[in-house]
Amino acid sequence: MKILFIGDIVGEPGRRAVKMLVPKLRDRHAPDFVIANGENSAGGNGITPRIAEELFSLGVDVITSGDHVWDQKEVLELLATEKRFLRPLNYPATVPGQGAGIFAVKNSGLKIAVLNAQGRTFMPPLDNPFLLAAEAVKHLRAQTKIIFVDFHAEATSEKIAFARFLDGQVSAVVGTHTHVQTADEQIFPGGTAYLSDAGFTGPHESVLGREIEPVIKRFLTAMPQRFEVAKNRVLLHGAVIEVDEATGQAVKIQRVAEAV
């Protein structure tokens, strides 16, 4: 089984990249299931029900998120009604939505679990993702051995430690949030595929997807600036993971970096 994961989609350019490139990636890699982090897909800040529906219509099966999940007030409706949209698992239990789910893989009879968790180092103070993920994985494995984890975190050390902690229990742990694709794709001894950061899908003639000059001005002056989504050199970043259906262990991971 092959999973295509699309790194953080940033604004309209990122959504356009999904529209233009996912068909090509389907032809090239033949993924059975597509997951995308969509927390920046609404103008670079959050996500709305309309944009989620757009991404689903473009072939995304599940949308994950992160610390910008709350940036659009309409997200509450999305969390209440759409099981294919996940927010980080380690928000308090009283928060709307879900951090994990089990989904049918079309035309295969297989099930895949997707789990979304958020780190705590240099990030908002949430519940411990290690403890909550370990407990969630126990329940998920009772229904399927194929488990994909989007770990939305800032610190590389926390990402690696989290993936090592889950090695052998999940099929893949791929990091998001920093928007810079790393070159450390590997399969750990227990069979868990790992990549510190999938990168981002959107305009790369930018600072992490934003117009360059306002970001520089912020660093020069420490004054507030409007960080508009940039426009040029649009790329889709992500990864393709191949998983043994019987064991749930990864057999291959490959980075994706495709230009519009």
pLDDT at 197: 98
- In 3-state terms the chain splits into helix, strand, coil percentages (rounded to 5) of 25, 30, 45
Please, which residues bridge with residue 175 across strands?
Answer: 151
> Does residue 136 sit within a domain?
yes
State the average pLDDT for the chain. 97
pLDDT at 224: 93
Name the residue range of residue 69's domain: 2-203+231-259
143-160: pLDDT as tens digits:
999 999 999 999 999 999
- Kindly state the average pLDDT of the residues 163-181: 98
236, pLDDT greater than 90: yes
pLDDT at 245: 96
> Does residue 221 sit within a domain?
no
What's the CATH number where 29 sits? Answer: 3.60.21.10
Number of domain units in the chain:
1
Sorting pLDDT into bands at 50, 70 and 90, what band is 31?
very high
Q: Which amino acid is at 222?
A: A
Q: Which amino acid is at 259?
A: A
pLDDT at 34: 98
> Does residue 253 sit within a domain?
yes
- Kindly state the average pLDDT of the residues 203-228: 96
To the nearest whole percent, how much of the chain has pLDDT over 70? 100
Whether 237 is catalytic: no
| Whole-prediction pTM | 0.96
Please, which residues bridge with residue 210 across strands?
Answer: 207, 229
107, pLDDT greater than 90: no
The candidate with the shortest Cα–Cα distance to 257, out of 181, 197, 176, is: 181
pLDDT at 249: 98
Catalytic residue among 68, 152, 179, 237: 68
Q: What is the DSSP string of 172-239?
A: EEEEESS----S--EE-TTS-EEES---EEEE-SSBTTB-HHHHHHHHHH-------B--SSEEEEEE
52-82: pLDDT as tens digits:
999 999 999 999 999 999 999 999 999 999 9
> Does residue 59 sit within a domain?
yes
